[in-house]
Structure 1
Amino acid sequence: MSTEILERPDVRDSSTDQGPEVFHYVKKNKIAESAVMGTMVEALCGEVFPVTKSAKPGSPVCEPCKEVYAQLKK
């Protein structure tokens, strides 16, 4: 089981989401499957979504995901 985590987007429809797009931490081994097959992934914060975009350096990251990731690193 891999513990590597990559940032992935919150893909909620921007017309219904009031806040800016943020990227979530997701288990690395689930990203390719989601991108190819369209399966849903679960972020560390519990958000569930299909992977449709990749984060660029400096992209905003979900605060709850950051907190969970910090606890995993200890």
Structure 2
Amino acid sequence: MSTMTLPETDTRPETTDQTSDDRPEMFHYVQKNKIAESAVMGTHVVALCGEVFPVTKSPKPGSPVCPDCKEIFESLPPGGDS
């Protein structure tokens, strides 16, 4: 499975301190230009679905993607020049 991204959007994980949850770790679409800053500085990013979290991991091929982010991403016009 390949990850489709707009020039300004990429997928990154939602990370939480909750470990008692049985949900699989989900990866979200976020602004690409915010990923490095978040990974280095620990700042939070906002996913297309509205989740807010610091970037701590990169997605691996086949990782589950947030269905809300995916739906929003697929509804965006091609090009991402906004």
TM-score, length-scaled by structure 1: 0.88
**Alignment partner of 1:26: what SS?**
strand
Structure having the higher helix fraction is 1
Cα RMSD after superposing both structures: 1.7
- Structure 2 residue ranges without an equivalent (≥5): 1-5
TM-score, length-scaled by structure 2: 0.80
Code of the aligned partner of 1:55:
P
Distance in 2, Cα, partners of 1:18 & 1:57: 21
Aligned pairs, how many? 73
Runs (4 or more) in structure 1 with deviation over 4 Å come to none
**Alignment partner of 2:75: what SS?**
helix
Residue identity over aligned pairs, in percent, reads 64
- Structure 1 residue ranges without an equivalent (≥5): none
| CA-CA distance at 1:3 after TM superposition | 4.6
